[in-house]
Amino acid sequence: VINKTSRLNSGYWLFFLLLQWSYGADDTESWASIGFETKLPYSLNLEFEQELRLKDQLATFKQTFSEVSLSYPVFDGFKIQVPFRYITYKDEIKQRLSFAGSYKYSFKPVSLKHRTKYQRTYEKGEIPEELIRNKFSIM
């Protein structure tokens, strides 16, 4: 029974990997980042992330950004977050301020997470762009 289940799970993973390569354009991108987090008084967390993105088979600069974020755990599994992102593209600079709330539900060995984020992006000479984003993750 264990061997059959193991082969079945391996088959699913192989199917999803092959499915990924069967669709979409042939353009490899790279997203590399480093981040730091520290706890502050009153249960606040301060986070910093720096990311570099390359495109066109890793040959061309796409963007880089620095993000600083303040978060607070409201109750078990639910937290609010206020991130600020400074984004540099080849020929433009954008700034993004967001407000997000996320809920994470854990049951061994899987966790489910839902995040809703309101973001406002500023670009020189442009009207600010507002957007609401939702993200669902299985971890």
Q: What is the pLDDT of residues 92-114, one digit of tens each?
A: 999 999 999 999 999 889 999 99
Which candidate, 60, 89, 81, 56, places its Cα nearest to that of 135? 81
Q: In what order do the strands lie in the sheet with 45-55?
A: 30-39, 45-55, 60-75, 78-89, 93-107, 110-123, 129-138
Residue 8 has pLDDT above 60, yes or no: no
Structure tokens that stand for 5 in this block = 């289940």
Counting Cβ atoms within 10 Å, is residue 70 exposed (0-12), middle (13-18) or buried (19+)?
middle
The answer to which of 4-8, 41-45, 54-58, 61-65 has the lowest mean pLDDT is: 4-8
> pLDDT tens digits, residue range 23-34?
555 678 888 999
> Beta strand 93-107 with 45-55: parallel, antiparallel or unpaired?
unpaired
Site of tokens 């540099």: 88
